[in-house]
Amino acid sequence: MDFLRISDVGIAGLRTILDATARIKASPSDVEGLLSGTSIGVFFEKPSTRTRVSCEVAAVHLGAHPVMLRGDEVGLGKREALKDVARVLDRYVDALAFRVFRHEHLEELAKHARGPVINLLSDVGHPCQIVADLATIEEHMALQGCRITYVGDGNNVCNSLLLGGAMSGMHVTVCTPPGYEPDAEEVVAARAIAATTGGSITLMSDAVAGMRDAHVLYTDVWTSMGQEAEAEQRLRDFEGFQIDLAALSSADANALFLHCLPAHRGEEVTDDVMEHPRSMVFDQAENRMHAFSAVLLYASGSLPTW
């Protein structure tokens, strides 16, 4: 099955993937070689460090052969029709994992590929990241009823966090300056899910109030790749949305700090918060690898029944 949005797998499917992520991290040998003899096409239209390395290492551990592709090699929608790219690659590999600028390109690929298509990041969402995030939180506290506050740009990560948090029964608060809110359709979808799980979705522009008593504080860069021309304006717009020690102190006494990385230290987060004992950013980064293993096995129909 495809994994384009985290909601694609449903609440029960997400629970299965999270349990598998924890199991794989605790006992990697349990899944070693399970995809032996298969191949996965991994494509990056934009640069990547964590996603590329974690996916490649995870695939190799599972026994799959990762075929790494660059944007200039494939030229999505430029050199040839997307449906042709999908149907050709589908004859060579057993699964596709793509990082793209435009989510509709993923949807078109999934429409024409017979094997699973996994979203490694698009302008709409970053579902594999959120699996890792939820797995990281669950190492310290239950997801149901957890109060998580996302501060900053309502971007693709934020969109997926809304959905994943709602599916997990979390109380998700998103604090953004006016004009930087998450995608309206994703908010509506998340609220509909939260109504069935006991969770909630709150949007506000008051970051100080939003971070107070939170169990988890989460942020991302204010200026993403491709937005460099907006950097100075964004620095002005996001003034007051930095997570510093005062913000962390205003949260729950045992609050965790998360960041999907890369971090722009001194902008969205201070150095002392990044290095704080309650900063889980490097556990979070490690969990990207285990989460991708779980997602790939699930999407391929090869996840063991433990």
Residue 107 domain-assigned (yes or no) = yes
Distances (CA, A) of 236 to 94, 180, 242, 265, 280: 46, 13, 12, 16, 28
**Tens-of-pLDDT digits for all 306 residues of the chain?**
999 999 999 999 999 999 999 999 999 999 999 999 999 999 999 889 999 999 999 999 999 999 999 877 787 777 889 999 999 999 999 999 999 999 999 999 999 999 999 999 999 999 999 999 999 999 999 999 999 999 999 999 999 999 999 999 999 999 999 999 999 999 999 999 999 999 999 999 999 999 999 999 999 999 887 778 888 999 999 999 999 999 999 999 999 999 999 999 999 999 999 999 999 999 999 999 999 999 999 999 999 998
52 tagged catalytic: no
Answer yes or no: 220 catalytic.
yes
Of the residues 103, 126, 215, 259, only one is catalytic, namely: 126
Q: Are residues 227 and 263 in the same domain?
A: yes
Is 126 designated active site? yes
Cα(80)–Cα(86) distance, rounded to whole angstroms? Answer: 10
The string of pLDDT tens digits covering residues 156-197 is: 999 999 999 999 999 999 999 999 999 999 999 999 999 999
Residues 6+ apart with CB under 8 A from 134: 14, 18, 143, 164, 165, 168
Asked whether residue 201 is domain-assigned, the answer is yes
Candidate list 147, 259, 288, 290, residue with the active-site label:
288
Q: Which of 5, 23, 61, 99 is catalytic?
A: 99
Q: Which of 55, 128, 146, 260 is catalytic?
A: 260
The whole-number pLDDT of residue 132 equals 99
Same domain, 108 and 164: no
Candidates 123, 183, 220, 252; catalytic one: 220
Whether residue 85 is contained in a domain is answered as yes
What is the structure's pLDDT at 13?
Answer: 99
Tell me which of 2, 123, 129, 215 is the catalytic residue. 129
DSSP state of 165: H
Residues 113 and 192 in one domain: no
Do 294 and 255 lie in one domain? The reply is no
> What CATH number does the domain containing 177 carry?
3.40.50.1370
- What is the number of structural domains in the chain? 2
Residues 100 and 166 occupy one common structural domain = no
129: annotated active-site residue: yes
Look at residue 60 and give its three-state secondary structure. helix
Are the C-beta atoms of residues 151 and 218 closer than 8 Å to each other?
yes
Q: Which residue range(s) make up the domain with 86?
A: 6-126+288-300
- Give yes or no: residues 101 and 177 share one domain: no
233 tagged catalytic: no
pTM for this structure? 0.97
Query: What's the gap between Cα 151 and its chain centre?
Result: 16
Q: Assess whether 227 carries a catalytic annotation.
A: no
CA 98 to CA 88: how far, in whole Å? 15
